[in-house]
């Protein structure tokens, strides 16, 4: 079976707030699939519905071909979940957390203990094996949660902001581990606010806003399709603005710079240099961040 998750017109309302507003998507076996979107877009809500902890309001949802409303225990047996909010058990050590959690999957104690040590090594926390989780740093807790999500050797990983609050080293470690897991045939669904991370990890992703999916595709396709190859950034000045408007070159203002998305930066740069008296100017490749900001706007979400 190729389709690990299939959602059609999936909706979730809390009282009178629509958190997820009729989204449809398919996640295939072995894929890393990303959910991006501003705060409150509905990413966590979607993760929770897939993870069978929050019932959907309407629409179709199948995980491993099964319905979360009908067979939650069967589905959850094969899931590994990293929640957005850290919820390790403060009454146990790192090792104790993994073993206790294994118990919830009916994994026999000796198997669980062996696996726990392997996983602590996998996330490089062997030294903290017998430390109470209260005494771990935020990043260590995040890594332990990833280890915890793996105790049952899941077929599908659901990671809600797995690298939040991690230092660059730890983020790279997690990326590496996720790549390893993908290579082993795992399917991974993740949300993140780090767009470089999404671009690096995801085979395909969706950008959500206000509970709806705005676009779907591979990171590079989305960049090409919605922004172009490159961005020229010029310091904002009346001359530059007038000059661009006059030649009807599409541009966008952000703070004190003007951004021009283009497929041929040389041409734009030439025009600017010749007739607009630019002050500072630079050319850079377009990124997922440009797509994100273009589609979801630059205003802060409440």
Ligand X SMILES: Nc1ncnc2c1ncn2[C@@H]1O[C@H](COP(=O)(O)OP(=O)(O)OP(=O)(O)O)[C@@H](O)[C@H]1O
Q: Which residues bind ligand X (CB under 6 A)?
A: 14, 17, 19, 37, 39-45, 84
From the list 20, 27, 42, 44, which residue makes contact with Mg ion (rule: CB under 5 A)? 44
Q: Which is nearer to other proteins, 21 or 74 (CB)?
A: 74
3 state SS of 211:
coil
Cα dihedral sign, 148-154-158-163: positive
Name residue, tokens 């992703």: 205
105 binds, among Mg ion, other proteins, ligand X, none (CB under 5 to 8 A by kind): other proteins
- Cα(168)–Cα(173) distance, integer angstroms: 9
Our CA angle for 33, 299, 262, nearest 5°, is 70
CB 240 → Mg ion: shortest distance, Å? 39
The contact pattern for other proteins, residues 78-97, with x = CB under 8 A and - = no contact, is -x-x-x-x-xxxxxx-----
Greatest distance between any 2 Cα atoms in the chain: 75
166 binds, among Mg ion, ligand X, other proteins, none (CB under 5 to 8 A by kind): none
CB 19 → ligand X: shortest distance, Å? 3
Q: What single-letter DSSP state applies at residue 288?
A: H
Does residue 55 interact with other proteins by CB under 8 A? yes
Tokens (6 digits) for 296: 């979801």
Considering only 36-44, 74-82, 222-230, 236-244, which stretch makes contact with Mg ion by CB under 5 A? 36-44
Q: Which is nearer to other proteins, 125 or 286 (CB)?
A: 125
Name residue, tokens 């897991």: 181
Q: Which is nearer to ligand X, 42 or 154 (CB)?
A: 42
Nearest residue to ligand X by CB is 44
CB atoms within 10 A of CB 137: 13
Residue 20 bridge partners (DSSP): 12
> Which residue, among 157, 139, 146, 151, has the nearest Cα to 98 in the 3D structure?
151
Does residue 2 interact with other proteins by CB under 8 A? no
Does residue 84 interact with Mg ion by CB under 5 A? yes
Does residue 14 interact with other proteins by CB under 8 A? yes
Using alpha carbons, list the distances in angstroms from residue 164 to 50, 138, 160: 21, 9, 9
The site for other proteins (CB under 8 A) is made up of: 14, 51, 53-55, 72-74, 76-77, 79, 81, 83, 85, 87-92, 100-101, 103-106, 152
């Amino acid at each position: 079976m190729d389709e690990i998750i299939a959602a059609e017109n999936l909706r979730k309302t809390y009282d009178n707030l629509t958190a997820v507003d009729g989204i449809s998507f398919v996640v295939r076996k072995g894929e890393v699939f990303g959910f991006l979107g501003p705060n409150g877009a509905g990413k966590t809500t979607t993760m929770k519905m897939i993870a069978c902890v929050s019932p959907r309001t309407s629409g179709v949802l199948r995980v491993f071909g099964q319905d979360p409303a009908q067979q939650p225990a069967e589905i959850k047996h094969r899931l590994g979940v990293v929640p957005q909010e850290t919820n390790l058990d403060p009454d146990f050590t790192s090792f104790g957390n993994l073993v206790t959690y294994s118990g919830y999957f009916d994994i026999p104690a000796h198997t669980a203990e062996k696996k726990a040590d392997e996983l602590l090594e996998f996330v490089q926390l062997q030294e903290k094996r017998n430390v109470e989780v209260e005494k771990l740093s935020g990043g260590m807790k995040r890594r332990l949660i990833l280890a915890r999500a793996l105790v049952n050797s899941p077929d599908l990983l659901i990671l809600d902001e797995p690298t939040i609050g991690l230092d660059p080293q730890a983020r790279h470690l997690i990326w590496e581990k996720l790549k390893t897991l993908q290579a082993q045939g795992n399917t991974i669904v993740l949300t993140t606010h780090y767009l470089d991370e999404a671009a690096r990890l995801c085979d395909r992703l969706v950008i959500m806003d206000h509970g709806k999916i705005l676009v779907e595709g591979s990171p590079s396709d989305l960049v090409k399709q919605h922004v172009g190859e490159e961005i020229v950034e010029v310091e904002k000045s009346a001359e530059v603005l007038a000059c661009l408007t006059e030649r009807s070159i599409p541009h966008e203002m952000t703070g004190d710079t003007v951004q021009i998305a283009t497929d041929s930066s040389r041409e734009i740069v030439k025009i600017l240099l010749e007739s607009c008296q630019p002050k500072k100017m630079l050319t850079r490749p377009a990124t997922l961040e440009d797509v994100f900001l273009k589609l979801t706007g630059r205003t802060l979400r409440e």
